[in-house]
């Protein structure tokens, strides 16, 4: 059955002014339409921002625990609908049920987490230098915030932007990616049913080039949070900062796992394979480079190839790895595979579309492993966003670290080692916003900061945990002399 979604603006579900719509399809069966959405215009985006601006003052003055109660109720509504949201996410984005269910649960947990954090909002008290003076700070909301989110985590990323923004008294306008916006709109259904006031939370679907651009450039927008491609993110950053807006961007990654000569090779292969091939490699934190000490290189290549070849591919409701989200994403991955072979990398396994009746229609690609990769190859420098792993041989820890850092990105990085000194050095010396020891590059805790270095981020503000609250609030210092 095809679902029909409207925009949510000023507390009402509405059609776009143009009355135009667009459809999403199941990447495992592209002939099956999943849902229909509003093809909004810049005028629709302006209306949403105006509604958010009108509602901002009253929402900011609502006691924080009352705001938290609405978030808590919305989280409870999402929890009651977890199974249907998991099914929708799988059908629209292609994730396996296990991956989709975990992502939905993360959104639920984020709403619960920030609901409780509202009790801690306020500021801090400091000691004044003179008598009869109270010296303290108060935190105020930024104002109207524009949230632009990608398709690869279509409920988790909107949740970790929405929840802290709302908890701290901001109003929001969200423009989710058009490839898989359904679960993001379900967040707004939950907020609506939880009793969020009109205009506080708004969502408008349609292309980022028109809708997203209109939102981030609107004069009433005070803050912008963007997650997506580097090319678009840098344009968003420039436009927002030119207008004096507060802005954070989280962009791409080319994430390494360094495998030391002291590592347990079987454990290392498990860690790398999970990071490289989970969610079909469609994660900004996915492991795309295994940087392996020469003493264990051949053994590691054999082990990680075994892991790749053991993965069962198919529709997400039945198999270990689902399809890529669109035909263009699939073609992009296949193009990188061709380029890698042209540059001289050795294809160890995968490298194409799987054969068989169940693969005829979906956007499937085999888990792919390349060896003999030079770090200058495009396959080692550019974000592929598919289940493709480049294995690079190094002579020692120093070369491994240099190779890990020798990219324009710096989002997530890990090392597999039994050497404590190497582990400690890696944490200090790797150029990445997330550093892990004996763990995969993917997988994040919701209560600690997340963000990247270099071209993986604007490096202005972090997301999640207290860092999320910091972005959406401005600190005012008060001198109270009596």
Q: What angle, 0 to 180 degrees and rounded to 10, lies between the N-to-C axes of helices 156-167 and 182-194?
A: 30
Task: Find the distance separating the first CA and the last CA of the chain, reported in whole Å.
Answer: 67
Instruction: Kindly state the tokens that stand for 313.
Output: 């591919």
Residue 406 three-state SS: coil
Residue 219 three-state SS: coil
- Let me know the angle formed at the C-alpha of 147 by 325 and 118, rounded to the nearest 5 degrees: 120
C-alpha span between 99 and 308 (Å, rounded): 18
Residue 293's DSSP bridge partners are 394
Q: In this structure, are strands 223-227 and 144-149 parallel, antiparallel, or unpaired? A: parallel
Q: Which of 42, 108, 190, 284 is catalytic?
A: 284
The answer to whether 284 is a known catalytic residue is yes
C-alpha span between 316 and 100 (Å, rounded): 9
Q: Find all residues with CB under 8 Å of 111, minimum gap 6, and list them.
A: 71, 72, 74, 75, 78, 159, 163
- CA-CA-CA-CA dihedral for 250, 254, 260, 265, to nearest 10: 100
Q: In this structure, are strands 346-349 and 368-371 parallel, antiparallel, or unpaired? A: antiparallel
Alpha carbon separation from 178 to 37, 89, 162, 194, 301 (Å, rounded): 9, 13, 18, 25, 38
Residue 435's DSSP bridge partners are 413
Task: Name which of 126, 123, 142 is nearest 134 in CA terms.
Answer: 126
Q: Where are the beta strands (DSSP E) in 306-398?
A: 346-349, 368-371, 388-394
Measured in degrees and rounded to the nearest 5, phi and psi for residue 159 equal -65, -40
Residues taking part in catalysis: 284
């Amino acid at each position: 059955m095809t679902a029909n979604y409207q925009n949510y603006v000023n507390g009402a579900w509405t059609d776009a002014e143009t009355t135009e719509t667009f459809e999403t399809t199941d990447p495992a069966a592209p002939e099956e339409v999943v849902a229909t959405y509003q093809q909004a215009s810049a005028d629709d985006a302006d209306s949403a921002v105006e509604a958010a601006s009108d509602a901002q003052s009253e929402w900011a003055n609502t006691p924080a625990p009352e705001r938290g109660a609405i978030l808590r109720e919305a989280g409870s509504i999402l929890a009651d609908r977890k199974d249907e949201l998991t099914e929708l996410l799988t059908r629209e984005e292609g994730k396996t049920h296990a991956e989709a269910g975990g992502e939905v649960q993360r959104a639920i947990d984020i709403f619960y987490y920030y609901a409780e954090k509202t009790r801690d909002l306020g500021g801090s008290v400091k000691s004044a230098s003179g008598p009869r003076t109270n010296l303290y700070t108060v935190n105020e909301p930024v104002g109207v915030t524009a949230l632009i989110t990608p398709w690869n985590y279509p409920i988790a990323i909107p949740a970790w932007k929405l929840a802290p923004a709302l908890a701290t008294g901001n109003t929001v306008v969200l423009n989710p990616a058009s490839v898989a916006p359904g679960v993001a709109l379900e967040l707004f259904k939950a907020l609506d049913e939880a009793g969020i006031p009109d205009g506080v939370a708004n969502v408008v679907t349609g292309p980022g080039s028109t809708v997203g651009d209109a939102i981030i450039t609107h004069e009433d927008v005070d803050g912008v949070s963007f997650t997506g491609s580097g090319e678009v993110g840098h344009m968003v950053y420039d436009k927002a900062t030119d207008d004096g807006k507060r802005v954070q961007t989280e962009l791409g990654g080319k994430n390494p796992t360094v495998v030391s000569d002291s590592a347990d090779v079987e454990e290392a292969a498990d860690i790398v394979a999970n990071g490289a091939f989970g969610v079909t490699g469609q994660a900004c934190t996915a492991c795309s480079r295994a940087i392996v000490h020469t003493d264990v290189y051949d053994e590691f290549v054999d082990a990680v190839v075994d892991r790749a070849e053991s993965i069962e591919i198919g529709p997400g409701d039945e198999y270990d790895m689902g399809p890529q989200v669109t035909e263009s994403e699939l073609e992009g991955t296949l193009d990188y595979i061709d380029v890698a072979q042209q540059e001289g990398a050795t294809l160890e396994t995968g490298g194409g579309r799987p054969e068989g009746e169940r693969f005829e229609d979906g956007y499937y690609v085999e888990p792919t492993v390349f060896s003999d990769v030079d770090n200058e190859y495009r396959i080692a420098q550019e974000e592929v966003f598919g289940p493709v792993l480049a294995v690079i041989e190094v002579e020692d820890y120093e070369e491994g670290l240099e190779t890990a850092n020798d990219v324009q990105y710096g989002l997530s990085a890990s090392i597999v080692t039994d050497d404590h000194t190497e582990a400690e050095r890696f944490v200090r010396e790797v150029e990445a916003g997330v550093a892990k020891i004996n763990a995969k590059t993917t997988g994040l805790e919701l209560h600690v900061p997340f963000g990247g270095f270099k071209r993986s981020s604007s490096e202005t503000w972090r997301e999640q945990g207290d860092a999320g609250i910091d972005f959406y609030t401005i600190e005012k210092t008060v001198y109270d002399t009596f």
